[in-house]
Structure 1
Amino acid sequence: MLRFLVRRSLGALVILLIISMVTFALFFAIPADPARLSCGKVCSPDNLALIRHSMGLDESVAMQFWHWFSGIFTGRDFAAGHCDAPCFGYSFVKQEMITDVLLDRFPTTLSLTVGSAVVFLLFGIGTGMLAAHKQGKALDKVASSASLIATSMQIYVAGPLALWALVYSTDWLDQPTYVPITEDPVGWFTGLLVPWIVLSLIWTANYTRMTRSSMVEQLSEDFVRTARAKGMSGRSVFLRYAWRGAMGTIVTVFGIDLGVLLGGAIITETTFSLHGLGQLAIGSYVDSDLSMLVGVTMVAATLIVVFNIIVDAAYALIDPRIRLA
């Protein structure tokens, strides 16, 4: 198992190195001067030269990449001060260290992701298992039809409808906002309840369909028929064999989905005006804050790669054939 994880980790480091090189290259592929974009509309030649020097644009591209990449591990000095590791640079648009902005926005995205994941996992997997258990019956047909309708909905449609129905028209729930859980746990819960409901509605449908199809497939396998032929009860066969066999697909997809959500739910955060990584990426694009865009992209890519490693480890625990291979 340890050798398996070491191989996956080394492969992930290579992937992250490639992603960092490609992301940094895209920074220079944009047909504009990053220093002038960071300087703003009113920019004197002296300020422009200072920003170019601070951003390292007066050096070769290879040296610029080395300073940026090494700063992630060792920190970096700017005219505005020292940036501790992991340092993703300095935003001349926001006049802040990029790492500080990312750390400030990440708790919003984390709360949005974790809360919705708990809901859609419980309801999605539970409903999918019931639908598979009652295959072909009324419950199965209702669950399959409802999940198909919910899957067809989009955040930018379901979000405004939920706001109108639950907030503006009825005042049943609070206007979506983020309050740190350490300051006000109740406010944290009520402020994110509407986004959780909308995200869970769509993702629950996906996991219902996926769980049902995986369970139905496992129930038709030969080892399940053998277990039934040996006299095992239907509940034991369903939970001990079919459910464990279906977990591999669910864990794989969930790990990828969780990494993507943590990287920034752009549409969700924009719809509900939540100041997380997703809205930060949109704002950085609008403001042409290229340094911030590079930082957000690297954080999102790192989260996705890390969760893929976690998925590989979990998958190896579920299926011994994986780690033996």
Structure 2
Amino acid sequence: MIGFLAKRVGFAALVLFLLSAFIFLLFFVAPGDPARLVAGERASDAQVQQVRENLGLGKPVLAQYGDFVMRSLSGDLGFSYRNQQPVLTLIQQRMPATISLCAGAVVMWLLLGIPIGIMSARKPGSLRDRLGQVFILVGVSFPSFVLGMAALYCLYFLPRQAGFTLFPAGSYKPISDGVLDWAWHLVLPWLSLALTSAAIYARLTRGQMLEVLGEDYIRTARAKGLKERVVVFKHGLRAVLTPLTTQLGADVAVLLGGAIVTEQVFGLQGIGSLAVQAVNSQDRPVIIGIVLLAGFFIVVANIVVDLLYVALDPRVRTGAA
């Protein structure tokens, strides 16, 4: 197990190194004046010169890269000359909204997708299996922004037209204002971001469960007189959780893309909306900081998934896999 985790950590370090090198080459070595790109087209010559000195652009390229890595490791992600704030401060202000959105969406799609997949697999061809198939078809057919707009229309606009409020249109309320108020403002964003993934997990769970429930050890467990619930959840579901965990690791990597769209639809002031604003205004220090931070969290999330994989699969702990 230690060897397995050591390999994963080493691979994560390699990914972060390659990411930092690519960003450095893209923004600091590519043709053009990096100081002008960072400071912005409207910056004065004095500001550009100050940026050049701050970034150490007069040093050799390897020394510049070393300084870039050391600044990043120390939490110095640069300074936004358009917002007149450190990039890390801007990200810290927006991070709670994005973490709340993404974490809640993951929990919601797991709580929806896995039970629906199990329900469909227990009695294939039944009415509940067909209902589960309809959910899967609808979920995978619509992108998150369409689901978000439909949720706004059906669960916000129509109730408001009828004279009552079911859910707010959007915006983010800090959890310090109260857990219920925090969750109430995020229900619609969670649904729009989670439904597509919930449908995918329902389909994956159904397929895996159908295969597992036909195995010899499941028939043996039933022949011993074990209750169906024990057979399904203790023996069947445990085997299904391993591929689901692997899928979760891949989905975490693309979660931020869906979060950007969802934040725009619901007006959540998270990292996604900050990234859009930075791209539109060509605020390169903010773009660099967000890309580095996003890469770091994706790597960390995948290491966490690998730890879950170790806990679920005894072959990894014993070195058999």
Instruction: Output the TM-score relative to the length of structure 2.
Output: 0.89
**Per-residue deviation, residues 290-316 of structure 1 (Å, max 9, x unmatched):** 222121111111111112111222112
What amino acid is the match of 1:304? I
User: Which residue does 2:65 correspond to in 1?
Assistant: 65
User: Which residue does 1:191 correspond to in 2?
Assistant: 185
* Contact 1:263–1:304 under 8 Å retained in 2: no
1:243 to 237, 243, 246: 237
* CA–CA distance in structure 2, aligned partners of residues 8 and 38 of structure 1: 34
Tell me, yes or no, if structure 1 residue 321 matches structure 2 residue 321: no
2:79 to 72, 85, 90: 90
1:179 to 166, 173, 177: 173
Cα displacement (A) at 1:262: 5.6
User: Which residue does 1:222 correspond to in 2?
Assistant: 216
Cα displacement (A) at 1:111: 0.6
Cα displacement (A) at 1:33: 3.2
* Contact 1:68–1:89 under 8 Å retained in 2: no
Cα displacement (A) at 1:30: 5.6
What amino acid is the match of 1:313? L
User: Which residue does 1:79 correspond to in 2?
Assistant: none
Tell me, yes or no, if structure 1 residue 279 matches structure 2 residue 279: no
Is the partner of 1:170 in helix, strand or coil? helix
* Contact 2:252–2:302 under 8 Å retained in 1: no
Moved more, 198-207 or 22-31: 22-31
Note the residue ranges of structure 1 that are not aligned, 5 or more in a row. 74-84
1:14–1:217 Cα change, 3 Å = same
1:307–1:43 Cα change, 3 Å = closer
* CA–CA distance in structure 2, aligned partners of residues 9 and 47 of structure 1: 40
* CA–CA distance in structure 1, aligned partners of residues 48 and 138 of structure 2: 54
Tell me, yes or no, if structure 1 residue 135 matches structure 2 residue 129: no
* Contact 2:193–2:258 under 8 Å retained in 1: no
What amino acid is the match of 1:132? A
* Contact 1:159–1:195 under 8 Å retained in 2: yes
* CA–CA distance in structure 1, aligned partners of residues 293 and 42 of structure 2: 31
* Contact 2:105–2:190 under 8 Å retained in 1: yes
Is the partner of 1:178 in helix, strand or coil? coil
Relative contact order higher in (CA < 8 Å, ≥ 6 apart)? 2
* Contact 1:265–1:278 under 8 Å retained in 2: yes
Cα displacement (A) at 1:32: 4.4
Q: How many residues align?
A: 314
User: Which residue does 1:170 correspond to in 2?
Assistant: 159
User: Which residue does 2:102 correspond to in 1?
Assistant: 113
Cα displacement (A) at 1:199: 1.8
* CA–CA distance in structure 2, aligned partners of residues 268 and 62 of structure 1: 39
CA RMSD of aligned residues (A): 2.2
What amino acid is the match of 1:298? L
* CA–CA distance in structure 2, aligned partners of residues 197 and 98 of structure 1: 30
* CA–CA distance in structure 2, aligned partners of residues 24 and 143 of structure 1: 47
* Contact 1:91–1:98 under 8 Å retained in 2: yes
* CA–CA distance in structure 1, aligned partners of residues 30 and 152 of structure 2: 38
* CA–CA distance in structure 1, aligned partners of residues 138 and 30 of structure 2: 40
* CA–CA distance in structure 2, aligned partners of residues 30 and 177 of structure 1: 39
1:306 to 278, 281, 300: 300
* Contact 2:106–2:194 under 8 Å retained in 1: yes
Is the partner of 2:269 in helix, strand or coil? coil
**Per-residue deviation, residues 130-160 of structure 1 (Å, max 9, x unmatched):** 1111112111112112211211101221212
* CA–CA distance in structure 2, aligned partners of residues 33 and 273 of structure 1: 35
* Contact 1:263–1:300 under 8 Å retained in 2: no
**Per-residue deviation, residues 109-147 of structure 1 (Å, max 9, x unmatched):** 011112222222112111111111111211111211221
User: Which residue does 2:163 correspond to in 1?
Assistant: none
What amino acid is the match of 2:202? T
Name segments (4+ residues, structure 1) moved above 6 Å. Answer: none
What amino acid is the match of 1:90? F
Percent identity over the alignment is 36
Tell me, yes or no, if structure 1 residue 18 matches structure 2 residue 12: no
Cα displacement (A) at 1:266: 1.3
Instruction: Output the TM-score relative to the length of structure 1.
Output: 0.88
* CA–CA distance in structure 2, aligned partners of residues 118 and 154 of structure 1: 19
Tell me, yes or no, if structure 1 residue 291 matches structure 2 residue 285: yes
* CA–CA distance in structure 1, aligned partners of residues 154 and 220 of structure 2: 51
**Per-residue deviation, residues 17-69 of structure 1 (Å, max 9, x unmatched):** 12211222222466543422343443332222222222333333322211110
Moved more, 22-31 or 146-155: 22-31
Tell me, yes or no, if structure 1 residue 158 matches structure 2 residue 163: no
Is the partner of 1:182 in helix, strand or coil? helix
The residue correspondences of 1:73-88 to structure 2 (distance < 5 A) are 73=73, 85-88=74-77
User: Which residue does 2:255 correspond to in 1?
Assistant: 261
